[in-house]
Amino acid sequence: MDLRAELLKSIWYAFTALDVEKSGKVSKSQLKVLSHNLYTVLCIPHDPVALEEHFRDDDDGPVSSQGYMPYLNKYILDKVEEGAFVKENFDELCWTLTAKKNYKPDRNGNSIISHQDAFKLWCLFNFLSEDKYPLVMVPDEVEYLLKKICTAMNVELNSCELDDYLSQEPQGQGGLTVWQFLDMVNSGRFLRGIEQEAISMAVEEVYQEVIEDGYLWKKGQLRRNWSERWFMLKPSALSYYMSEERKEKKGSIVLDKHCCVEVLPDRDGKRCMFCVKTSNRTYEMSASDTRQRQEWTLAIQTAIRLQAEGKKSLHKDLKQKRREQREQREQRRAAKEEETQRLKQLQEEKERKLQELELLKEAQRQAEILLQEEEQRRRQQHEEMQRTLEIQLREAEQARASMQAEMVLKEAEAERQRKRILELEDMQERLQEALQQEVKARQDEEAVRYAQARLLAEEEEKLKQLMKLKEEQEEYIIKTQMEKQVLKQEMENKNKCLEEAQKQLEEVRVNRQRVDQDVMAAQRKLRQASTNVKHWNVQMNRLMHPIGPGDKRTNVSGGVFAGYQPLLSRRDSSLK
């Protein structure tokens, strides 16, 4: 599954390189050529029938990546065998396709890295990139790779400058694409003052360390002579070839939990020796220097440990651990942010509750003040009511004394009542006249409104005529550009008609203003009539109030008998 994922990353770059229009689709002829090349570099038997059948010419047009994946999985990736092909040749094929379109080194030859170093960095990028498309390498992995290269050159990486660079990139925080990464390396910002040869050696060293291959001297089993072989380390086996092209495989050392690595003293003219012991045989090897021997022994021991643990690769294991550490940091950061947010919410809740408590205290104080004011008001009302009752009792005594005098005045009051009835009849007649005036005013208002509506309709009709004349004028202007001299008189006539229509429109507007003034005058009359009607209604209601025997007079002892109506009623009944 890991091999399939690694192959898919490189194939993805090749597919996107063939997508010239960036539409997510590639022509079938190009996919045929790509599939044929993949068959070749992956050492898979060609199946031309399936290739032609799957990509036969029809009207379906280009194929998307989703449409190519079924064929890729069935006829290519499912048939790939690990160790049966040279992965570097496969990577070189995909690199050649994608670099031709996307990799843009300095045209003046001032690039920091060579084309071959760019290819190795591209392979390292694919190895360290995230397993999601489009492929990007997170900032932590970028820093890790640059630190590995700088360590190989005995140079310290400026992490602060790297953070500044990533923060300036639009998508630097989410990760860099391989082309952004190569542009960053070629810019010389982090490798300034270092020779290209030193950078190339550092890239080669990191590449061999991650890919886990390189030259070693091996002692033969039968002839006991020393031969230089190209070794490639996998968790399950240590294979060796005649050369780095890996065309002729000479043998393989199977690694399991029973294997071990030991350092040997220098002898037979060889230095930096070590051996790999298996259950069947001991393999003696020699490195070029102590550092290389230490790296190989550590790598083989790690491969044996990973094989015992059921894991695939040291660097993949380290990459997975770094990814888990990043996820744990993200989780801790998210938990910290969540805790901070929760504390902030709790603080806000606390402040809100304190504010509510202050509001409750203030409301309690206000309620106590209102309660005191209510109590004081009730006390004042009680005292005032008591005083009122005392006054009413005194008034009742005075009313009893003045009752006799009141009866004498009833006759005069009855005479005044008769006069008031006559006045009421007169007022009723005047009220009828006022009502008639109001009806007439309303009729005048309706007539004025009708006239206003008619004038508005005429104005609208004039406006329509005006707009129609304008449209006709514009049409005549467009149609008669070549006949301008012939139709000039007609245009003048139209302008005269337009002026007359505008004058008529102005007259209609003047008439409308006059009618509006008439409407306002009628409304003023109506309001005046309504005021008169209200006034006469009040007068009539006052005159219509009957005066019974024993009632108080309004002008004699005005409010003396206000609270003693029952007593007066009994007195009236005795008089009757």
The C-alpha atoms of residue 472 and residue 479 are separated, in whole angstroms, by 10
What's the token pair of residue 428?
A: 């009723």
Angle (CA) 381-383-389 rounded to 5° is: 100
pLDDT at 63: 65
The C-alpha atoms of residue 467 and residue 462 are separated, in whole angstroms, by 9
Burial (CB < 10 A; 0-12, 13-18, 19+), residue 117, is: buried
Share of the chain above pLDDT 90, in %: 1
What's the token pair of residue 559?
A: 């409010």
pLDDT band at 311 (very low <50, low <70, confident <90, very high): low
pLDDT band at 398 (very low <50, low <70, confident <90, very high): confident
DSSP count for the chain of H helices, then E strands? 14, 9
pLDDT at 573: 46
The DSSP-derived string for 104-168 is ---TTS--SS-HHHHHHHHHHHHHHS-SSSS--B-HHHHHHHHHHHHHHTT----HHHHHHHHHH
Contact 427, 539 (CB under 8 A): yes
What are the distances in angstroms from CA 208 to CA 94, 121, 146, 149? 20, 11, 15, 12
Torsion, CA 481, CA 485, CA 487, CA 488, rounded to 10 = 110
Instruction: Tell me the average pLDDT across 74-91.
Output: 78
Burial (CB < 10 A; 0-12, 13-18, 19+), residue 373, is: exposed
Contact 163, 155 (CB under 8 A): no
Residue 120: alpha-carbon gap to chain centroid: 40
Contact 135, 12 (CB under 8 A): yes
- Residue 566 reports pLDDT greater than 80: no
pLDDT at 369: 92
pLDDT band at 550 (very low <50, low <70, confident <90, very high): low
The C-alpha atoms of residue 433 and residue 420 are separated, in whole angstroms, by 20
DSSP state of 565: H
pLDDT at 107: 58
The C-alpha atoms of residue 322 and residue 119 are separated, in whole angstroms, by 24
Residue linked to tokens 């080669």: 204
- Residue 345 reports pLDDT greater than 50: yes
- Residue 563 reports pLDDT greater than 50: no
Residue 558: alpha-carbon gap to chain centroid: 79
- Residue 574 reports pLDDT greater than 50: no
Least confident of 4-8, 170-174, 333-337: 170-174
Residue linked to tokens 């009893």: 400
pLDDT at 254: 85
What's the token pair of residue 407?
A: 């009866």
Angle (CA) 25-27-30 rounded to 5° is: 120
Q: Report the 10 Å Cβ neighbour count for 211.
A: 19
DSSP state of 80: -
Which of the two residues, 487 and 422, has the higher pLDDT score?
Answer: 422
Which of the two residues, 321 and 463, has the higher pLDDT score?
Answer: 463
Least confident of 102-111, 425-434, 463-472, 543-552: 543-552
Least confident of 56-65, 355-364, 466-475: 56-65
The DSSP-derived string for 319-373 is HHHHHHHHHHHHHHHHHHHHHHHHHHHHHHHHHHHHHHHHHHHHHHHHHHHHHHH
For the stretch 179-188, pLDDT in tens is 888 888 777 7
- Residue 572 reports pLDDT greater than 70: no
Instruction: Tell me the average pLDDT across 511-533.
Output: 88
The most confident of the ranges 330-344, 473-487, 511-525 is: 511-525
Which of the two residues, 397 and 236, has the higher pLDDT score?
Answer: 397
Locate all alpha helices (DSSP H) within 225-313, ordered by sequence.
290-309
Least confident of 230-234, 384-388, 535-539: 230-234
pLDDT at 211: 64
What's the token pair of residue 476?
A: 């005549």
Instruction: Tell me the average pLDDT across 526-534.
Output: 87
Instruction: Tell me the average pLDDT across 410-418.
Output: 85
For the stretch 281-309, pLDDT in tens is 888 888 888 877 887 887 788 778 777 77
Which of the two residues, 426 and 575, has the higher pLDDT score?
Answer: 426
